Each structure stands twice: as structure tokens, then as C-alpha cells.
Amino acid sequence: MAEACKCAPGSAPGRPENILVTGGAGFIGSHTCVALLSTGYSVVIADNFSNSSPSALDAVRRITGRDLVFYETDVTDASAVRRIFSENRIDGVIHFAGYKAVGESVEKPLSYYRNNLLSTIVLAGACVEHGVPRFVFSSSATVYGDNKPPFVESMPLLPAANPYGETKAVCEKILADTVRSCSGFSASLLRYFNPVGAHESGLLGEAPNGIPNNLMPYITRVAKGELKELSIFGNDYDTPDGTGVRDYIHVMDLAEGHIAALRNAPCGLSVYNLGTGKGTSVLQLVTAFERATGVSVPRRIAARRPGDIAVCYADAGKAERELGWKTHRTIEDMCRDSWRFEKNRCV
Ligand code: UD1
């Protein structure tokens, strides 16, 4: 058997109970920990706080009333990861930890390839070595590149426009090959569309360091008066109002998608879009935000952002059919919850 695969051959992943969540203090990771703990799973988090802070862990504990095991660890460090697997009985891994800023990935490709690929190799290796049957990977709709939306899982992946996107595509390949080499090891590749929103308590949300790159955190900071105005990157796209269209998904819907994947994904390799299947333009999102919160968002039209595509939205049918999961929260919920968190957030 190749590479010391200790996963029981042909074994079903079963229902995992103790989940290692890498990047569990980050935006999507922390909300997924809330969903896991609220559904009865136990959680071990590994995070090095490179783009997050310990306050997210306090919020997870406060919201769920449950404790968790935490390692301040860089998951590219194979010996540190080995220690986590030997000190805990791990039934499954959800791997969020990774660099995710598109522009930065163009400036620092080696850091992106090193961090994102190595962490996946180390974690998949630890699963194979310790017989952990279930791996869930944080992928991105960016792997569809220039395909024509709606994006369907069966589409061939096109070269990504930037190193960040390329790392997601290569990690998918690494996991697919690992599944092929080790029967009993299963991986679900979850391709996220545009996660926004926050936990409805207002205690947990997206808090990027510095000036945000993404649309929703930029809108909330303009609404708060911390930034002067929103630049809308292009109004001459081939879309109904000329601004870019995306499939925004509430982060708690996304978090629940991970539980559905843990429970219902078949053995072997599986791939799912996690999106709503609906496109919303930049202008529609800004208007929805103003309506949902009653706060106005000063804006101006600016040049297109290099690398942006006009339209991106999911065919969300496969996840509904196979995982029994679909989104429930509306654009208004996303705006209201993002704003509640932003208002609470200390600078
Ligand atoms: C980006 C990444 C994507 C990543 C995702 C994480 C790119 C090309 N893609 O997606 O790989 O997985 O973030 O959430 O960066 N916009 C403005 N003004 C702003 C910010 C954004 O008009 O200040 C527009 C953009 O042009 C786009 C839409 O808002 O049409 C959404 O942008 P953003 O939130 O950055 O997400 P994506 O670019 O779709």
C-alpha cells in the first residue's frame, strides 16, 4: 500500500465526532466552529493568528456555551501537526487555514504556494498516517476561471488569473490524488462563492486587518464613517446595471454546508459548490444594505479592478441533491448581520 495509508480500506467515513478545524479563528472557520459545536461535535482548532485573533475563539465559546481545544500552530509544521494528531482522537479535518488575498498572491507567489500547498500536504499526510477518514477542504469558485456562469462542478477547471486561485486548484488535485491512493480516505472539496454576513449575535464576523479588499467589509466601514466612500469597480460590464455580479452567501449558511458535507458526502472524492445560485450586482448589494440598515453608503464609480470577471454565480443543485443542503438566509439578512457586527466591533 502506498505511503503508509492507515485508513481502513473501503471504510465509510461514518459520522465523525471530533473535528480538527485549521484556521478556526478566521472568518469562515470560526462560524463553522459555532455550527459544529451547536450540532454536538467537539472541536480542536489549530490557528497561528496570522489573519485572526484570539477574540474570535472567546466569541465561539460565548455563543455556544462550549469549550474547545486550541493549538496556536502553523499547520505547515509537520511535527506540530503530528503532535495534535497524537494528543487527540481526530475523526475528521476541515482545512480553512490559508492565505487568501488575491492581490498579495501576485506580489508574493512563493509564500502563497508554500503556505497553501504545504499545509494541505502536511494535513492530508497526517490523516493518511493516522487513519483519519474524512477531509473537508476550503476551495473557491475562483477555480472556474473564465468558464461561463452558472458554474457547475463538472466544468473543466481553467487556469486561475492569480497564484491564490492556482493554489486552490492544485490543493484540489493533491487531495484527489490522495483519495485515489488511499482507500478509506475521503475528501470533499467545497467551492465557496462570496461569503459575507456574520453570526446573528453580532459577536462574530469578518474583521480584516487594514483596508478591506472585499466588498461587504468595505461597505460596512464606509457606513460606519471609517472610510470616506465606496469605489464601485466598473459600471460598464455586460450585466443588467453594468456593475459586477456575484453569488453572495451568508457565512452561517456556508458554515452549515460543512456540517452537511461531514454527514452526507459519499466516500471517496466529492466536489460541491456552496452558493445560493443567485447573482447580485454591486449596486444591488449597496441598495439592499441601505434598505436593511437605514444607513447610507456614499459611493462613486471607479475603473474596473484588474482581474475581476463580470459575473460569477453557482449552480447550487448538486449540494442540495446530494448533501440535502441549501441556503436559507437572504441578502437582507447578510447586510443586517454584517452591520450588527461592524457596529459592535472595536477598532
Ligand atoms: C474575491 C477573490 C476571490 C476570493 C473572494 C473571497 C478576486 C478577483 N477574487 O472575490 O478569489 O475567493 O474574494 O471572498 O479578488 N467591488 C467594488 N468595490 C470594492 C470591492 C469590490 O466594486 O471596494 C466589487 C468587485 O469588483 C466585484 C464585487 O464587488 O464585482 C465583489 O468583490 P469582492 O468582494 O472583492 O469579491 P470577488 O472579487 O468576487
CATH of the domain at 138: 3.40.50.720
* Residue 160, pLDDT score: 77
CA of residue 214 to ligand 1 center, whole Å: 5
Over the stretch 188-205, which tens digit does the pLDDT of each residue have?
Answer: 999 999 999 999 999 999
* Residue 217, pLDDT score: 97
Q: Is 228 part of any domain?
A: no
Q: Is 266 part of any domain?
A: yes
- Specify whether 272 is catalytic: no
Q: Which atom of ligand 1 is nearest to the CA of 282?
A: 29
pTM assigned to the model: 0.96
CA distance 125 to 178: 9
Give Cα 199 to chain centroid, integer Å: 15
pLDDT confidence tier of residue 347, bands split at 50, 70 and 90: low
Q: Is 280 part of any domain?
A: no
Assess contact for 326 and 320: CB atoms under 8 A: yes
Over the stretch 158-198, which tens digit does the pLDDT of each residue have?
Answer: 877 899 999 999 999 999 999 999 999 999 999 999 999 99
CA of residue 211 to ligand 1 center, whole Å: 14
- Output the residue whose Cα is nearest ligand 1's atom 8: 308
Amino acid at 210: G
Higher pLDDT: 82 or 159? It is 82
- Output the residue whose Cα is nearest ligand 1's atom 22: 232
Over the stretch 255-277, which tens digit does the pLDDT of each residue have?
Answer: 999 999 999 999 999 999 999 99
Q: Is 110 part of any domain?
A: yes
The number of domains in the chain is 1
* Residue 345, pLDDT score: 86
Assess contact for 68 and 43: CB atoms under 8 A: yes
pLDDT confidence tier of residue 8, bands split at 50, 70 and 90: confident
Assess contact for 275 and 251: CB atoms under 8 A: no
- Output the residue whose Cα is nearest ligand 1's atom 31: 215
CA distance 117 to 174: 9
The pLDDT of residue 237 is above 90? yes
Q: Is 287 part of any domain?
A: no
Q: Is 237 part of any domain?
A: no
Choose the residue to mutate in 214, 219, 245 for probing ligand 1, maximizing ligand atoms within 8 Å of C-beta: 214
Please report how the helices 251-264 and 27-38 are oriented relative to each other, as an axis angle in degrees rounded to 10.
60
Among 164, 248, 272, 313, the one annotated catalytic: 164
Q: Is 282 part of any domain?
A: no
Q: Is 232 part of any domain?
A: no
CA of residue 190 to ligand 1 center, whole Å: 19
The pLDDT of residue 32 is above 80? yes
* Residue 120, pLDDT score: 98
The pLDDT of residue 218 is above 90? yes
Q: Report, as an integer, the average pLDDT of 206-216.
A: 90
* Residue 16, pLDDT score: 64
96 is in which domain, residue-wise?
Answer: 18-197+248-275
Q: What lines the ligand 1 site, CB under 6 Å?
A: 102, 140, 142, 165, 194-195, 213-215, 218, 230-233, 244, 246, 282, 305, 307-308, 312
Give Cα 72 to chain centroid, integer Å: 20
Mean pLDDT of the chain: 95
Q: Assign 268 to helix, strand or coil.
A: coil
CA of residue 245 to ligand 1 center, whole Å: 10
* Residue 306, pLDDT score: 86
CA of residue 210 to ligand 1 center, whole Å: 16
| CA trace torsion 266, 272, 274, 276 (10° rounding) | -100
Count Cβ neighbours within 10 Å for each residue of 178-194 and write b for 16 or more, e otherwise. bbeebbbbbbbbbbbbb
Give the pairing type, strands 18-22 and 194-196.
unpaired
Q: Which residue has the cell 488575491?
A: 102
Q: Report, as an integer, the average pLDDT of 216-229.
A: 97
